[in-house]
């Protein structure tokens, strides 16, 4: 069935180090969204990627969508303690309306 696999499950970094989380689908996606959920909070939308090979930046965050539209990544440069939380990708496939969330990558940042 349709699903998105997300790795790693957890990542511990020292403040100032970089962080990357990866999202993969076995079938071609229509689009992919990224959300951040702070501990005890609810998911908050970060970005949506639609085009093959698309790269978008938001300050220290860089989002990429693979050429085949089957994988995506989120890279944070020079992490800060405010980046702590769980990052989810959410994929959507052609011909359907459902968005399926990955299991998330939980980021821990040590000051």
Q: Which residues bind another protein (CB under 8 A)?
A: 6, 33, 35, 41-45, 48, 88, 96-104
Nearest residue (CB) to another protein, 17 versus 84:
84
Q: Phi first, then psi: what are they for 9, rounded to 5°?
A: -75, -40
What would the two tokens of residue 80 be?
């800060």
Q: Tell me how far, at minimum, the Cβ of 30 lies from another protein, in Å.
A: 11
Nearest residue (CB) to another protein, 13 versus 46:
46
Nearest residue (CB) to another protein, 90 versus 109:
90
Q: Tell me how far, at minimum, the Cβ of 102 lies from another protein, in Å.
A: 5
Q: Nearest CA to 43 among 107, 88, 100, 91?
A: 88
Q: Nearest CA to 70 among 88, 48, 52, 55?
A: 52
């Amino acid at each position: 069935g349709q699903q998105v696999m997300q790795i790693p499950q957890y990542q511990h970094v020292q403040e100032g180090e970089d962080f990357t989380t990866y999202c993969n689908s076995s079938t071609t996606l229509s689009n992919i969204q990224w959300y951040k959920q702070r501990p005890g909070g609810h998911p908050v939308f970060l970005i949506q990627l639609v085009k093959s090979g698309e790269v978008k930046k938001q300050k220290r965050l860089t989002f990429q969508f693979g050429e085949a539209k089957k994988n995506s990544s989120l890279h944070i440069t020079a992490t800060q303690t405010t980046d702590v939380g769980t990052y989810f990708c959410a994929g959507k496939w052609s011909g359907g309306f459902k968005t399926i969330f990955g299991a998330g990558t939980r980021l821990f940042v040590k000051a």
